[in-house]
Chains A and B, each alone.
Chain A
Amino acid sequence: MVGYTVEKEYQGMIDAYEKAGGDKRVLETKDVAKLVVHENRVLANDPIKGLKIDTEETKSGVKVNFTVAKGTKVPHPVHLCFGLLPKEGLQEIIMKVDAQDNSQVSVIAHCIFPNAVKVIHKMDADIEIGANARFDYKETHYHGEDGGIEVIPKAKVRVNKGGVWQSTFALSQGMVGKLDYDFEVVCLEKAVAELTVKAYGKGNDDIKIVEKIYLNGTGARGLAKSRLVLGDKARAEVRGETYGNAPYARGHVDCMELVNGTEAVAVAIPIVSVTNDKAKVTHEAAIGSIDRKQVETLMARGLDEDRAVDVIVKGILR
C-alpha cells in the first residue's frame, strides 16, 4: 500500500496488537520466535534454534514453511502475527507445518484487522505432527467494529503415532463479519486431537464452523468442542464430526451455542460415526439462551444487566 513503510507497518501492527489487549513486550523479546506479516509483506521473522520459518511473499499473501526439528522442545510460545491495517485488502496465508518426531511447540497466532471494511483473510494449512510430537496452536482474532471482514481458515492436520494436536480458535473481540472455519484432523495410533472454537457473533455476523476428526489409529482420541454466543441478527452453523475407525478410539463432540435476543439463529449438527466395534464416540449439543439465574446472580451483586451478560459471555468464551 502506498504510504506504508516497513517500519510504520510493523509499528502499526504492534500498536494494533497492544490496543487489542496483547502484550507487545512479548513481540519485542529476543529469545521468543516470531513472524510478523502485514498484508503480503514479512515484517519480522525471528526463528530460534531448532525452529525454521521459511517465507515467500506472494501477490496476495505469504507462503510459510514452519519446521520444528526432530526432538526440539521450543521453550517459549512462538508468536505469529498476521493482519491488515488498511480498510480493504486480501491476505492469503499458505502454511505448511512439519513438527518432526518428539518435538514440542506452542504457537500463538494473532490475527489483527482493526479497520477492516472490505477485507478477506484466508489461511490454508497443511500440518504434519510427527510421532510423539506435541503442537499447541492458539489463534486469536482482533477485529474492528465494522464487521467488513471475511475470515476463512482451513487446515488439514495429520497426527502420527502418539502425537498431540491441540488448537483453539477464538474470535470474540470486535465484529466477526463472515467466518468460514474448516479444520480436519486425522489421528493415527494413540494420537490425540483437541479442536476448540470460540466465537461471539453480533450484528449481521455469519459463522460457519466445521470440525472433523478421524480417529484412524488404535487408541486415538479426539475432542471437537465449540462455544458460540450469538446476539442481534447473527447466524451460526456448527458441524462437529468425529469418526471412530479403529479399536479403542475415543471421541467426543461438545457444542454449546447461546442465543441472546430473538433474532439470532443457531444451528448445531453433531455427526458421530463408528466403524469399529471397539471404538466409542459420544456427543452433546446444547442450544439455548443465557441462563437467567446466572444473570440475576451477578445483578444481585450490583452489576447492571448488560454487564452481567457480558461477564457470562466472556466466561463462556474464555
Chain B
Amino acid sequence: MLDVEKLQLTLNGKPIINDFSLHVDKGEIHGILGENGTGKTTVANLIMGTNNYKPTAGKMTFEGQDISGLSVSQRAQRGITLAWQEPARVEGLTVRDYLALSSHNGQADQLERFLLMVGLEPAQYMDRDIDATLSGGERKRIELASVLAMRPKLAILDEPDSGIDIVALPRLLNGIIEMNRQGASVLLITHSERVAAIAHRVSILCAGTIIRTGPAAESSQWFKNNCLTCPHINEPEH
C-alpha cells in the first residue's frame, strides 16, 4: 500500500531524514517508535506533504502511484490523512462542521458515532468551536474522530496519546483498532510502547533512519532495552 524508499530530507544543510525506507501493508497497523528528536513528525509531514517539506531524495508510492509531487489535498483525496500531534484550533468551526467536512457531509447519527468512538459525548461537543476552550486532550480526540469520519485508506497518527489522560487512552486505542477493523491502514507514530503494542509491526527510528522492524512485542522490547537507556540518541551506529 505505502512504499517509501531511501527517503532523504536535508534542512539548512543538516540531514534530518536519512535513507528512510518503510512499507505499510493494506490493513496493517504499523508503528514507528522513536525517542524525541529522531524525526517522527518529519516523516509524517513528508508522507502527507504538509509543512512544505519536500524530500531531497527518495521515492514514495501509494497503491503503486508516485505521490511525491502531489499536494496535501490530492494525497487526501487518494485516501491518505494525518492526525497532528498538536491539532490546529479553528475559530468559528464547530466540531459538527469539522466532522461533516471530513466525512464529506455524512449523516448526523454517523457523526455522533465517531465522537462516541473516541469517548466524547456528542451532546456536549457537537456545537462547540474547535478553539482554545477545548483542552489539548479533547482536541486530540476530536482530531481522531475527524480521521474516523474521513474513512481513510491510510491514517498517519502522530503521537495520538500525547495529552490524553490514562483513563481516556484505552478508548482512544480502541478507536484506532476499530478504524483498522473497518479497513484503514494505520501508520502509528509514537514514543510509547503501550501505544505501539496495538501495532502489527513496529519500526524503530533513530536519526531519521529505520534501524529495525519486527513484530510489535519484539520491537518494543528491543526499543526498551536499547533506545530508552541509550546515551547516543540519533547516533544509530551505537
Shortest Cβ distance from residue A97 to the other chain B in the assembled complex, whole angstroms? 29
Contacts A296-B72, A301-B81, A302-B150; A316 near B92 (Cβ below 8 A): yes
- Are the CB atoms of A298 and B91 closer together than 8 Å? no
Cβ-neighbour of B76 out of A299, A312, A317 (below 8 A):
A299
Minimal beta-carbon separation of B215 from chain A (angstroms): 30
Q: Would you call A15 an interface residue if the criterion is a C-beta within 8 Å of the partner chain's C-beta atoms?
A: no
Residue of B75, B92, B97, B104 most packed against chain A (CB within 10 A): B92
Q: Give the Cβ gap from B196 to chain A, nearest Cβ, in Å.
A: 23
Q: Are A303 and B93 in contact (CB under 8 A)?
A: no
Q: State in angstroms the CA–CA spacing of A298 and B87 once bound together.
A: 11
Inter-chain CA distance A316–B104, complex, in Å, is 21
The interface residues of chain A lying within 8 Å CB-to-CB of B104 are 302
Q: A302-B76, A303-B101 are in contact. Are A297 and B71 (CB under 8 A)?
A: no
Is there a chain A Cβ closer than 8 Å to B48's Cβ? Answer: yes
Q: How far is the CA of A47 from the CA of B184 in the complex (A)?
A: 59
> What's the nearest-Cβ distance from chain A to residue B158, in Å?
11
Which has the most chain A C-beta neighbours within 10 Å: B50, B72, B76, B129? B72
Q: Residues of A contacting B82 with CB < 8 Å?
A: 300
In the complex, which of the residues B51, B77, B91, B102 contacts A296, with contact meaning CB atoms closer than 8 Å? B51
Residues of A within 8 A of B101 (CB): 298, 301, 303, 311
Residues of B within 8 A of A315 (CB): 90-93, 97, 129
Binary interface profile of B, 76-94, with partner A (CB < 8 Å = 1, else 0)? 1100011010011111110
Cα distance A318–B76 in the bound complex, in angstroms: 27
Does chain A have a CB within 8 A of B146?
A: yes
Q: How far is the CA of A312 from the CA of B101 in the complex (A)?
A: 12
B93 and A311 within 8 A (CB): yes
Contacts of A314 in B (CB 8 A): 92
The prevalent SS among residues of A at the interface is helix
Which bracket fits the contact residues of B? Answer: 20 to 34
> Quick one: closest A residue to B156, CB to CB?
A300
- Taking the closest CB of chain B, its distance from the CB of A290, in whole angstroms, is 11
Is B88 a contact of A293 with CB atoms below 8 Å? Answer: yes
Task: Count A-B contacts at CB 8 Å.
Answer: 62
Q: Across the two chains, which residue of chain B brings its CB closest to A315?
A: B92
In angstroms, Cα B102 to Cα A75, docked, is 38
* Residue of B with least CB distance to A304: B73
User: For chain A residues 260-318, which have a beta carbon within 8 Å of chain B?
Assistant: 291, 293-294, 296-305, 308, 311-312, 314-318
**Complex Cα distance A291/B51, Å?**
11
Cα A304 to Cα B129 in complex, Å, equals 22
Q: How far is the CA of A206 from the CA of B183 in the complex (A)?
A: 51
Shortest distance in angstroms between A307's beta carbon and chain B's nearest beta carbon? 9
How far does the alpha carbon of A312 sit from the alpha carbon of B97 in the complex, in Å?
11
Provided the pairs A298-B101, A300-B81, A311-B101 are in contact, do residues A305 and B93 lie with their beta carbons within 8 angstroms? Answer: no
A82 to B82, CA, bound (A): 47
Q: A314 to B73, alpha carbons, bound, how many Å?
A: 20
A28 to B40, CA, bound (A): 59
The 8 A CB mask of B86-116 against A (1 = contact, 0 = none) is 0111111100010001101000000000000
In the complex, how many angstroms separate the beta carbon of B41 from the nearest chain A beta carbon? 12
The verdict on A302 contacting B77 (CB below 8 Å), with A296-B72, A312-B90, A314-B92 known, is yes
Residue in B75, B88, B92 whose CB lies within 8 Å of A318: B92
Determine the residue in chain B with the shortest Cβ distance to A294: B88
**Chain B positions 134-149 with a Cβ under 8 Å from a chain A Cβ:** 146
* Contacting pair A299 B93 (CB below 8 A): no
B169 CB to closest chain A CB (Å) equals 23
Residues of chain A from 108 to 151 with CB closer than 8 A to chain B in the complex: none
Cβ–Cβ contact B91 & A316, under 8 A? yes
Most buried by A among B81, B93, B129, B150: B93
Give the docked Cα–Cα distance between A312 and B150 (Å).
Answer: 19
Q: Annotate B118-144 by CB proximity to A: 1 below 8 A, 0 otherwise.
A: 000000000001000000000000000
Residues of B within 8 A of A311 (CB): 93, 97, 101
Q: How far is the CB of B63 from chain A (nearest CB, A)?
A: 16
| A305 and B146 within 8 A (CB) | no
Complex alpha-carbon distance, A306 and B51, angstroms: 17
Asked whether, in the complex, the Cβ of B84 is within 8 Å of the Cβ of A293, the reply is: yes
Q: Contact check, A301 vs B87: say whether CB atoms are below 8 A apart.
A: no
Flag B57-74 by CB within 8 Å of A: 1 or 0 each.
000000000000001110
Shortest C-beta distance, A39 to chain B (Å), equals 34
List residues of chain B with CB under 8 Å of any chain A CB.
Answer: 48, 50-51, 71-73, 75-77, 81-82, 84, 87-93, 97, 101-102, 104, 129, 146, 150
Can you list 30 residue pairs at the A/B interface with Cβ under 8 Å? A293-B84, A293-B88, A294-B88, A294-B89, A296-B50, A296-B72, A297-B84, A297-B87, A298-B101, A299-B71, A299-B73, A300-B48, A300-B72, A300-B75, A300-B76, A300-B81, A300-B82, A301-B81, A301-B150, A302-B76, A302-B77, A302-B150, A305-B73, A311-B97, A312-B90, A312-B93, A315-B92, A315-B93, A315-B97, A316-B91
Instruction: Pick the 7 closest A-B CB pairs, nearest first.
Output: A315-B92, A299-B72, A318-B92, A315-B93, A302-B76, A301-B102, A299-B73
Residues of A participating in the B interface, judged by any CB pair closer than 8 Å: 291, 293-294, 296-305, 308, 311-312, 314-318
